[in-house]
């Protein structure tokens, strides 16, 4: 699954280009966000089992985007976020959630 989404669940516009890719065979969700001109100190990344939350707090304006875990998957403990030259890359382990 690959998608770009300009709005959050509440319909709020997210002004930064975001690409989400869920590779089921590799068990990873990759999120890539072009946050330029934000600096690394302007970013907050939070992940729980069921959601990824991105916050950009720059020049007194706060922008948030929450991404739910895909379908019947949850996020695992293997998580990484890297900022490089205005691009934030987040990689999250995914696994099936059996009820």
**What pLDDT score was predicted for residue 10?**
54
**Maximum distance among all Cα pairs of the chain, rounded to whole angstroms:** 44
Instruction: Identify the three-state secondary structure at position 37.
Output: coil
Query: pTM higher than 0.75, yes or no?
Result: yes
List pLDDT tens digits, range 52-94.
Answer: 999 999 989 999 999 999 999 999 999 999 999 999 999 999 9
Q: 2-96 has which fold?
A: Immunoglobulin-like (2.60.40)
Q: Which residue ranges make up each domain of the chain?
A: 2-96
**What pLDDT score was predicted for residue 1?**
44
Residue 65's Cβ-count burial label (10 Å; 0-12, 13-18, 19+) is buried
């Amino acid at each position: 699954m690959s998608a770009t989404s300009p709005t959050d669940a509440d319909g709020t516009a997210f002004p930064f280009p975001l690409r989400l890719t869920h590779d089921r065979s590799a068990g990873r969700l990759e999120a890539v966000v072009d946050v330029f001109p934000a600096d690394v100190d302007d970013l907050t990344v939070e992940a729980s089992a069921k959601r990824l939350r991105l916050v950009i707090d720059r020049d007194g304006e706060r922008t948030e985007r929450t991404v739910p875990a895909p379908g019947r998957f949850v996020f695992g403990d293997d998580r990484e976020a890297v900022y490089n030259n205005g691009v934030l890359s987040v990689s999250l382990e995914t696994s099936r959630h059996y009820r």
